[in-house]
A and B are shown apart, each in its own frame.
Chain A
Amino acid sequence: MPKRKDIKKIAIIGSGPILIGQAAEFDYSGSQACLSLREEGYKVILINSNPATIMTDDDIADKIYLDPLTLPSLKKIMRKERPDAILPTLGGQTGLNLAVELSKDGILDELGIELLGTNLHTINQAEDREAFKELMEKLGEPIPDSLTVHDYKSGFNFAHKIGYPVIIRPAYTLGGTGGGIAKNDKELDFILNRGLTMSPTTECLVEKSIAGFKEIEFEVMRDHAGNSIIVTGMENFDPVGIHTGDSIVFAPTQTLTDTEYQRLRDASLKIVNALKIEGGCNVQLAQDPNSEQFYVIEVNPRVSRSSALASKATGYPIAKIAAKIAVGLTLDEIINPITKTTYAMFEPALDYVVAKIPRFSFDKFTNADRKLGTQMKATGEVMAIGRNIEESLIKAVQSLELNKKLQNNLVSEDDAKLSLPDLLKKIQTGTDVRLFGIFTAMAKGATIEQIHASTKIDPFFLSKMQNIMYLHKKLQSGELTADLLEQARKYGFDNEMIKTIHPISDEDLAKLDKLADQHLVYKMVDTCAAEFESKTPYYYSTIGSENESKPIGNSILVIGAGPIRIGQGVEFDYATVHCVKAIQAAGYNAIIINNNPETVSTDFSISDKLYFEPLTIDSVMHVVDLEKPLGAIVEFGGQTAINLTEGLTKHGVKILGTSLEGIEATEDRHDFEQLEIKQNIAHPAGNTAVDIPDAIKIADKIGYPVLVRPSFVLGGKGMAIVHNQDELIAYIKPALKNSNGKPTLIDQYIPGTECEVDILCDGNQVFVPGIMEHLEGAGVHSGDSIAMYPPQHLTDKQKIQIVDIATKIGHETHCVGMMNVQFIATNKQIYVIDVNPRASRTVPFMSKITKMHLAQLATQMILGKSLKDLSLKPGLYPEPKKVYVKAPVFSFTKLPGAPTALSPEMKSTGEDIGSGDTLQEAIHNALFDSYHIDSSKKSGPVILSAHDFENTKLVNQLKQVGFEPQKFVSEDKMPKDITFVLDSADDTDDEKLLASIALSHQIPLFTAQDTVKGIFQPQPQFQNRA
């Protein structure tokens, strides 16, 4: 059926701020869908409060609302815009839930707005546990037996009926805490009683345990005519029991026979047909490794993280096709955008293996529970493509940016210290680093059988890991022959890895490589295993005899930002994409190297050529050697790209934009101090320490409190304020150990108004788009602060000073492109506290407000344009009348045990934007999707931790505003209808408990006094905190 002509205007609801479990994949799917609908001639209205997205760019939709994702806000927009339809299945769970709310509200019927794609009845059938159970029973598809119980006896009886092992899942506890697997009566007794006690509703689900089964996912597409296909099957390396978002995943499936595969495929199609899905759908299944038995685990009737992964793994653009299906097209009418000669109605054939490894941010959340289970904890993921399991796994490991030494050597030093029995016991539990634990166990001589017994990971995957470790051992002990090196190359080992295991020079490696029969080549991702000719500019490296990637010429290389982690979020993918657009507009070919499957930048249609590769110096240099680009741009790929600058420069690659010297002038403490002294720029007193006595001396000289942090940081990793010598020593010991010889910085701690600017510089003149003021004072990481633009509490003089200083720094570092400078403003002085020689996380926020594509302008300057050429006046861009606020979003509910109090260590996973005629209005709008509070309600009880309650000034302020502040005593003494909780420390058990109660009861939680102080003002103005 051709596309529908009775609808013209379609609204898409975005997924809002980035959270663990709902991240950048929805920017990718949402922007794909918008473009796909516009391609068909529809007008698209987009609502999303997350400014750090490509989907909220002016060229993606016809009209964009950066408004709160709440029912009242959406209703207002619906009344104003009166779209003909809403497409609800592309904005994650948030978009879907809001569509359901709108429908229940009746406004859709009132305004005659239709819901496109999969209908709400279906969505309910898939998402409601009971409705789903009923449907599966009707279809005769097996699901694990389960029962919701409210007392021990019923749970006990049910467990006996279905047989052990059983899983106990307590309802409404944070991250499912209190649950577990019981293998016998004794364990059931303990876990079920604990679960019932911990659940606020005294409710537990008792379910047949299928932990240890193979976890399989199918990505299905279906159109309204009932045509359906599987885009790909994916197999989790970690068996059932660990959330698929936290599992290592391979595509296609590896260990299923055709009989098993087709059985699961049949079940998936049967379910998707019964649900009458129109678009994309994810089906998760469990296959018993020892029998024909399988179970359906779950169905997601929308595009998801898995569909983004499947799209990147196969080249089949699920979201784009899903949008076309939603407007009536059938799969056989839609051209396959990869081959351009075949149709979307086919199942991709892969001739490679894809590995995905989740990226966790436990380096930031040092105390969080690293145990993996059914609650997702990863913040991002990497994907790698190879021609065998070993190669794709090793390439994915190389992409993780965890710990260079561990990634290169694979054997974990800590795990190596354990005895083999202890290590085998340790790896029974899935954690973020279990993969390395397994490698280490193998290095210690563990057999596949032993590791399988501990982990239940399929021996097929373990045998591949063992192949890697056999090779590792040979490299370590024997002579490095050309044959051995060729084998290592086939397993994905790059120079750095080999050199870590077997000391040898690059030159000698090159000589040996020449002797090999096959060499590193690039192969195309084409959805069809070379059966049809394709022109997709999407490549991966492998060892082979034919290189398919022909140099594109006149090209510029853009280094991406890799996996999303705390401190390096989707903002950097946004900047990367804009950099590419500017390069193309300037008449060059843009080449991207990146390894993040969730994002827009790794869509093959964004750049002229995409290399899906690890961001290591070796893999980037291979691309450079082939493509011979005019130069490389590193300013938009976050710290990942900046960290490659030195290596690239050494290899003779021309860095376009700020040079290595300029970058080092800001990142090297000593160089930067010289610059500041020369330019008479004030900065907090400080020095660098390489040992403990040194540190004590420096701190004594500056005077406590002092701010301590490692040099070369990302997102303030490892920063802390210490108040005395004991705290200093406690911090500095591990910091020095982990710094790889780089010194630790010790600074004077200055209380004042924090602010920051992003500057654009053509090497000569400096343009400042705006000054952003932080609501929270120094001591709270800038990424976790509420940022206000224009600044609300700076004098004109202070603003001039800030712009002057930023301009001086731009000049002195010969900045070309972008730079981010952070300040503390006091009444007396403006201090510079940090300079980042690259685009920062505030670029999308400021771009959306000023309606200037800052990353594109910066790229134009990098390519030789001057401020004048771009009609930009040096100095500060005029400030708007409206006020804009950027608020942080945290994923604490997903990370039980993680510290919650705001500190110099960044903790937020995302951000949203709010705007208004006044600061109060802008904050009010920003708080809905960030702190989930309606800040216009200025009454009701608010609970403060004992520590916060001691701040009488703050308590009085809250009373004055209209709240009833109460000190936290215990859970049962908490009143009902609490407006919010303030818990700014997480040291004592009570403080931890209070945060946990707030999170599990969905009570708005603030974890810094400054935030509360700033938001809830007795009158509109407030004093300069300095």
Chain B
Amino acid sequence: MKKYLTLENGDVFVGEASGDTAAEVEGELIFTTSMTGYQETVTDPSYTGQIICFTYPLIGNYGISKDVSQSKEIAPTAVVASEIEKHPYHYESVISMDDFLKEKHVPAITGIDTRELTKVIRKHGTMAANLTNHPVSKSLNDNNEKILSKIKLASMSTSNNSQTDHVVLIDFGVKNNIIKCLQDLDVDVTVVAPDVTFEDIEQLNPTGILISNGPGDPTEYTSFLPVIRKLQDNYPLLGICLGNQLLALANGAKTYKMTFGHRGINHPVKNLETGKIYITSHNHGYAVDADSIKNTPLKITEVEVNDGTVEGLRLPGKPVFSVQYHPEAAPGPHDATKIFNDFINIMHESEGVK
């Protein structure tokens, strides 16, 4: 069965239907260069509303296993790959990638020249696209729907380990591994939705706050910025990905949309304070404007080696910092998991100060 991927700029790619072959969807077309971890990738809520193209041609080689999904759902509206494996053999595999897509009603297109598609995105930037079962002639409009309304937000949930460290995690579309990384360090985590108030959080009596990753344009979340300003004055705080951008916005900096973003697990990030470089997992289409930081109390702590993108911020004098990349990996390298230890250390230090 044929499938049609029609891009905002008028390009059409015709391939084979895979996954849920009947479904027709639209989304923002992006690409990721990671060669492993397709399951973690497609279940990462930050991809909500996007059509994800894998540059690595073989997706699904080792099937889908029980424990590595980053959320319950497949976040992107569709998947583009050169091949999606129907018969995996891994001992942990419970279902094939193709069947996983079917089960979650997510369509996919295979057999197209994904390198050509990637170059279109590189050249023209991420753009709207739709995936249909028949050729479509209408040109597409930018997808104006609010992303926030699409993601399923966590109702308040508490993990009850009654540990001394207690992090309230504000969930804009959190990846499970962020929670797991904290729990592995014996931290109690309470997940709350972003419509939470400062007072709600205070009542939970946290020792630290984590602002999670999430999809979309950070400037759409302005209503939450006053809460961050209060939080950063009162608690140790770590922002990850969208959390990094929101911390920047809350302190008066600006964000911008990147041409095609950083999506992959091979990005070098340099810590300007230690000189150390880590290979990190990335998924962001927006970034913090470095120039705009000058007029804020924030300090840039980390940058991407190749293009200088802001990858980390700190609020001097306060136990508040954030990273643009994904220290929790899943998928990707563990070079920066130490960030969670740093966070706990900061919590402990500031407790001592209190």
Hey, which bits of chain A sit against chain B, CB under 8 A?
225-227, 229-230, 252-259, 261-262, 265-266, 269, 289-291, 331-332, 341-343, 345-353, 387-389, 458-460, 463, 517-518, 521, 523, 528-533, 544-546, 548
Q: Is the CB of B55 within 8 A of A351?
A: yes
Q: Is the CB of B116 within 8 A of A544?
A: yes
Which of these binds chain A: B83-91, B151-159, B185-193, B345-353? B83-91
Contact A350/B35 with A255-B61, A345-B305 known, Cβ cut-off 8 Å: yes
Task: With both chains docked as a complex, state the minimum distance between the C-beta of A398 and any C-beta of chain B, in angstroms.
Answer: 20
A to B CB contacts below 8 Å, 8 in the list: A225-B276, A257-B37, A332-B270, A345-B305, A348-B266, A460-B61, A531-B122, A546-B116
Which of these binds chain A: B207-215, B247-255, B330-338? B330-338
Residues in B whose Cβ lies below 8 Å from that of A256: 36, 62
Residues in A whose Cβ lies below 8 Å from that of B40: 258
Proximity string of chain B (37-77) to chain A, C-beta cutoff 8 Å, 1 when within and 0 when not: 10110000000000000011110011001001000000000
Nearest chain B residue, comparing its CB with the CB of A544: B113
Residues in B whose Cβ lies below 8 Å from that of A258: 36-37, 39-40, 68, 330-332
Task: Say which residue of A332, A463, A548 sits within 8 Å of B268 (CB atoms).
Answer: A332
Task: Say which residue of B36, B65, B91, B275 sits within 8 Å of A261 (CB atoms).
Answer: B36
Task: Say which residue of B33, B91, B275, B334 sits within 8 Å of A529 (CB atoms).
Answer: B33
Contacts A227-B276, A343-B306, A529-B118 known; 7 new A-B pairs at CB < 8 A = A225-B275, A257-B92, A262-B36, A346-B268, A387-B82, A389-B58, A545-B13
Q: How far is the CA of A341 from the CA of B307 in the complex (A)?
A: 9
Residues in B whose Cβ lies below 8 Å from that of A262: 36, 329, 331-334
Does B284 sit within 8 A of A, measured CB to CB?
no
CB-CB nearest 4 A-B residue pairs: A258-B37, A546-B116, A529-B55, A347-B266
Task: Say which residue of B83, B260, B266 sits within 8 Å of A349 (CB atoms).
Answer: B266
Does B246 sit within 8 A of A, measured CB to CB?
no
Proximity string of chain B (88-99) to chain A, C-beta cutoff 8 Å, 1 when within and 0 when not: 111110000000
Task: With both chains docked as a complex, state the minimum distance between the C-beta of B329 and any C-beta of chain A, in angstroms.
Answer: 7
Q: How far is the CA of A531 from the CA of B122 in the complex (A)?
A: 6
Task: Say which residue of B65, B265, B276 sits within 8 Å of A257 (CB atoms).
Answer: B65
Residues in A whose Cβ lies below 8 Å from that of B57: 351-353, 387-388
Task: With both chains docked as a complex, state the minimum distance between the C-beta of B198 and any C-beta of chain A, in angstroms.
Answer: 37
Interface centre among A342, A346, A546 (most CB of B within 10 A): A346
Nearest chain B residue, comparing its CB with the CB of A518: B113
Nearest chain A residue, comparing its CB with the CB of B87: A463
Task: With both chains docked as a complex, state the minimum distance between the C-beta of B309 and any C-beta of chain A, in angstroms.
Answer: 13
Task: With both chains docked as a complex, state the minimum distance between the C-beta of A447 and any C-beta of chain B, in angstroms.
Answer: 13
Q: Is the CB of A346 within 8 A of B267?
A: yes
Q: How far is the CA of A548 from the CA of B115 in the complex (A)?
A: 10
Q: Is the CB of B122 within 8 A of A530?
A: yes
Q: How far is the CA of A531 from the CA of B267 in the complex (A)?
A: 11
Does B313 sit within 8 A of A, measured CB to CB?
no
Q: Is the CB of B118 within 8 A of A257?
A: no
Q: How far is the CA of A316 from the CA of B201 in the complex (A)?
A: 49
Task: With both chains docked as a complex, state the minimum distance between the C-beta of B102 and any C-beta of chain A, in angstroms.
Answer: 20
Residues in B whose Cβ lies below 8 Å from that of A259: 68
Task: Say which residue of A225, A252, A388, A530 sits within 8 Å of B35 (CB atoms).
Answer: A252
Q: How far is the CA of A517 from the CA of B110 in the complex (A)?
A: 13
Q: How far is the CA of A544 from the CA of B15 in the complex (A)?
A: 11
Nearest chain A residue, comparing its CB with the CB of B15: A517
Task: Say which residue of A261, A331, A349, A517 sits within 8 Å of B277 (CB atoms).
Answer: A331
Contact A530/B55 with A255-B62, A258-B332 known, Cβ cut-off 8 Å: yes
Nearest chain B residue, comparing its CB with the CB of A387: B57
Q: Is the CB of A349 within 8 A of B115?
A: no
Q: Is the CB of A531 within 8 A of B55?
A: yes
Nearest chain B residue, comparing its CB with the CB of A343: B305
Q: How far is the CA of A546 from the CA of B112 in the complex (A)?
A: 10
Q: Is the CB of A255 within 8 A of B90?
A: yes
Task: Say which residue of A332, A460, A518, A546 sits within 8 Å of B88 (CB atoms).
Answer: A460
Interface residues of B in 99-122 (CB under 8 A from A): 112-116, 118-119, 122
Nearest chain A residue, comparing its CB with the CB of B262: A531
Q: Is the CB of A349 within 8 A of B267?
A: no
Q: Is the CB of B112 within 8 A of A545?
A: yes
Nearest chain B residue, comparing its CB with the CB of A527: B266
Interface residues of B in 268-285 (CB under 8 A from A): 268, 270, 275-277, 279
Q: How far is the CA of A463 from the CA of B62 in the complex (A)?
A: 12
Residues in A whose Cβ lies below 8 Å from that of B332: 258, 262
Residues in A whose Cβ lies below 8 Å from that of B61: 254-255, 460
Q: Is the CB of B276 within 8 A of A529?
A: no
Task: With both chains docked as a complex, state the minimum distance between the C-beta of B291 and any C-beta of chain A, in angstroms.
Answer: 21
Q: Is the CB of B264 within 8 A of A531?
A: yes
Task: Say which residue of A230, A266, A290 sits within 8 Å of B334 (CB atoms).
Answer: A266
